Structure 1
Amino acid sequence: MAHRRPPPIARLAVILSVVVAVAVAKTDKGDVEALNVLFTSMNKPSELSGWKADGGDPCDDDDEWKGIDCSGSDVTEIDLSGLGLSGTLGYKLSSMKSVTKLDVSNNNLNGDIPYSLPPNLVQLNLQGNSFSGGLPFSISKMSDLETLNLGKNHLNGQLADIFSHLPKLSTMDLSFNRFSGNLPHSFQSLTGIKTLNLEDNQFSGHIDILAKLPLDDLNLQNNKFTGWIPSKLKDIDSLETGGNPLSSGSAPPGMMKGSSAVSSSSGGNDGGINGFAIGAMVIAVLLAALILLSVLKRKRSSPVSSHYYMDDSGHSSTIDMKSLENSSSMDCRTPPAVPRKSINDNEFENKLNNSRRISDPISPVTYLSSDLQTATGSFHSSRLIGQGTTGRVYKAKYVDGRVLAVKKFDPLSFSGSSDFMEIVNSISKLRHANICEIVGYCSDPGYYMLVYNYQSSGSLYEFLHLSDDYSKPLTWDTRVRIALGTARALEYLHEVCSPSVIHKNVKSSNVLLDADLNPRLSDCGLTFFYEDTSESLGPGYSAPECTRSSGYVMKSDVYSFGVVMLELLTGRKAYDSSKPRAEQCLVKFVTPQLHDIDALGTLADPALRGLYPPKALSRFADVIARCVQSDPEFRPSMSEVSQMLTGCIQRTTSNRRIGGPLSTSQRSDTSDW
């Protein structure tokens, strides 16, 4: 039987009904997408009635989503407290500009607190979950935040200085976590704080920084705070300090350690404190005068002055300061004791100033193999977090909450402990914000290990190539800043250290990311292992000149860095055998298209979802094209690369505010470099 088509009037009615349904959809599209991702990241719980993994209209009265409140077309509150939810919070929350309350307390959520949070929150309550890692930098930009409750989680590490611009924050609860270290200096900017709960952590140091805050309720119980309790804190309504090695009684005059200055408020102690301070200053001046006279006297009796220093073995030696003034070269950490060819005064002054800007070498801690064995579960496979030509890397956990990364070498790699200690000594001289710094080592018989701080976000390779659609895709701004940080690390190795340090193993798996997605270049100073870079780097990263064993040069690092930038641009692996043959080698496939604006749009990582400025993509591609040129002479130096990428960052931030050097929560669809 043939189907009869409905009359034209009926067909028109159907079309109009569809159009009207679309037109009256209430909820902002960005809010819907963010909630879809959140729902999926929390494993699509049945407890969230009305929620969907794709589409929906949470602000429509007929499509009610549990725990969601709206104002007009915008979601304003998310309250999912106590629903037994699991999983993570996803990655899209920063697009929800109208959300002022996010409460997911008393659930079973885990993982790091996402770097992308609603930027205009007034209340943030994540209490009673299993979140780990540190606090995301995005909190520092929440100028309207009034309540921050992160208690009863597994958060750890030292608090970053992210509290300088939170004037409305009145209640903060960080209790029952594993935070450690001193309280951040920016705490003193919390001018609206009334309630502060730091109970049951591992905070240490002095609490003087809290003295001038308008607190009514302060709980510091069960930490490791030392020193005295400032008298002003004793006047607040509720003060709990038990379980700390604090000194009882009032602090002696002038002994309020940790204070930036002696209080100038009126009171009976002012005269004593000022008198003490003046007396101390007089004594200091007299001592300085005596020392100066002694030095002048010695200068008259000796034409050349010598200063003591500690050599690598820990023994005292002398260094001829007159010879040092004629030294032409200093390594990236400290001046050499052996004089070299003479240089003019201006050049020496420039080098000396440069060396002063770099902090002293690290003094690595010596670890026992038995301690590291215990902390890594006897180097159990479940603790294995990395493996390469240099050895295996294990995650070490300690009862005090510390987490470290232990690189364990094959003992046959070294002819003896002296070879290994040479590597330890050279690595300990590398100090840069974007380099993984050594914190310790083990050289027990049969065990050669390096110990680093654990980077909680893993490697760039994992972020780009092992994440699913709902985990942690990197925003465009973050990708550019990761490239810049890595470039600065290589610039430091190539052009600040003397003699220069070639890395020889630059690849995305060696770009580690901390909790705020700041890059840390690993495996620096391990060229001892990289005679055959084709084996260590793997396919896709080696420059053309590296086909010869002696062909690796400094500009070969630049080429490998360009490949890492290609990974950031495209989201593709440096070499992928699963692709068609013409697309397997990323450089060969993409390089011919880097100057084709139309082609670039199709090459951009789909995880970016189109959220990038086209001009930004083009300029980023220009930098890559220069880095991966086949002839090393035509590749730029790393200082040039850093300068080009810095220009990109400045252009990105000129039209809008971006918090901090590596802000990760900003959308980039409106920027234009």
Structure 2
Amino acid sequence: MFPHFVGFSIVFFAILDTSLVLSKTDAPDVSALRVMYGSLNSPSQLTGWKSSGGDPCGQSWKGIKCSGSSVTEIRLSDLGLTGSMGYQLSSLTSVTYFDLSNNNLKGDIPYQLPPNTLHIDLSGNGFTGGVPYSISQMTDLKYLNLGQNQLSGQLSDMFGQLPKLTEMDLSSNSLSGNLPQSFGSLSSLTTLYLQNNQFTGPINVLANLSLDDLNVKNNQFTGWIPSELENINNLQTGGNSWSSGPAPPPPPGAPSAHASRHSTKGGKEGKRSALSGAVIAGIVLGILVVVAILIALLSRKSSSASSHYLDEVRLSQRRPFTPLSSQELSNDLRSDICKDYKELKSLDSSSAIDVRALQTSPSIGLKPPPSDRINSFNDAEFENRLKVKKSTSIRATCHSLADLQTATGNFATGRLLGEGSIGRVYRAKYADGKVLAVKKIDSSLFQRGELGNFTAIISNISKLHHPNIAELVGYCSEQGHNMLMYEYFRNGSLHEFLHLSDDYSKPLTWNTRVRIALGTARAVEYLHEGCSPSSVHKNIKSSNILLDMELNPHLSDCGLANFHQSTSQNLGVGYNAPECTKPSAYTMKSDVYSFGVVMLELLTGQMPFDSSKPRSEQSLVRWATPQLHDIDALAKMVDPALRGLYPPKSLSRFADVIALCVQLEPEFRPPMSEVVQALVRLVQRSSMNKRGEDLGASRRMDDFDY
């Protein structure tokens, strides 16, 4: 009988173990909730929650509802919570109900919220900043409540892709400026609360919406209340500066669909019938003439213009855009996000980009095959390139908003390259083949009445001239839109080379990694010691190091440090120096630390923070630093993509520089000029030839030295 009992026990525990495994919550959801718990200051009222370990679905964490192994609802209202919501909300891909209303949460609303949410309620907190861009991608969103916070600035024109939104509450904030034109696209909206803000201008954009409940009280709206809104069941308009007297008549022949739906049998219908047949005939004839002219003009331009948008439209249909949340992404999300995210913001005036190839390539925006992607060059050529001085005659030119709307397809989703910490980046294509990356800065970052600051920012950025710094080529400041223009780099960022693996990628060789580090170090040295006044970058990370066709590095985001107001959303865990607990804590030595983290990425090929790894290995700096002076451990840390093809002494010296840069105490970190000199010595000692650069070589490179 005993053998039968043993067999039964084994089967029982196997079944039990299987059920436990099946009940465990998806790893990305667990990681995101742990981060949220810590960001909320680990409150005791969140019973069941844990900062490490735990199973939200299997252990019934307070306020969490699941379906299978996925978290689907987060209901944490009226709990007296403090702190913030964390930086990994975009990992919660199955969450459809997200409610943290009536708490004491502070700071900016994260740029990335759960991407597939239907119901968002963050009202009754102390959130500052603006409405996050990621909301514009939530095409299934039905309910949005951000009322009773401290949001400020103008609303971005970001509501054009929310066809299912039925109720929106932005009341009791400090939002300003005109209502965005994309409000007119909210075809399902029935309830809109905008009261107690500082909105200005007319509300005509709301005229054709199917509203039943509209409150615009206590703003600074002007003009007339559209007649189409007069039949709304619940309309509140007091406390504004409406114009007195009768409203001007609507344009001839342009009756409102909304008005016809809500009008009574008399009134407007009677007014329409008063038009004589001759007048109606004249109006119709005029419209036909205008339509004929437009068709003729469009037919002449369609063949050339349509080709500029074809590639982006196909790409947008093939995959949705996913904003980059931060470097703290789990492995199962990383590849998809890396493919979508290309924050291409830089210019190298000396790089030989083949414009004709960009114009005619059928796969614009995709990585070219390896043979077209990497051109190796020897050390002498590299040193010569670094010493070449760029022409300082380049000046940023002013572009009109109309031209940029044409070049970007009216900022179409298919033209979206990515979203950064201060705004979105679009690809602009012109008829002459010119391709630019347009950085559209979030208007909420500009305080009301301080547009002059943007002019000063343009002036400061235009003064930056260095072979390894992205230079500004254009700008636009119209109608509340502030944009910066840079040249578009097809090779993307260092982040993509190191962390994206696909059929077109070729691992960076050791020589190239050292040269990328040196070029980037020269750029930072120029900001710290070559500029007058000196400049702190505050945003050094691999996604801001762009690579030209010859893999020369170009540091982007230079001159934009003032925009980075929130350290928690600026670099993310893994890049921030330990002392950077608030924006004012950033110094040049903080930049040195972040650069050291980039060097660690180059050495190991690993992400600065990876929540999918064991806890002791999640932070790259904490895991790697104790091993940087251990020869045996160092050899095991090297990026496997190098396949052992590197000189050991060079690796050791490279690790020595990293160890200096990522020291905990800022005063012990070297200035960037010393970092540059150390890397220059590595290049000068190099005896690596092109045979050594070939990753297909069958021999190891232990006999080479730097």
Give TM class, smaller chain. 0.3 to 0.5
Q: Pick 1 or 2: higher relative contact order, CA cutoff 8 A, min separation 6.
A: 2
TM-score, normalised via structure 2 length: 0.44
The TM-score, its normalising length taken from structure 1, stands at 0.46
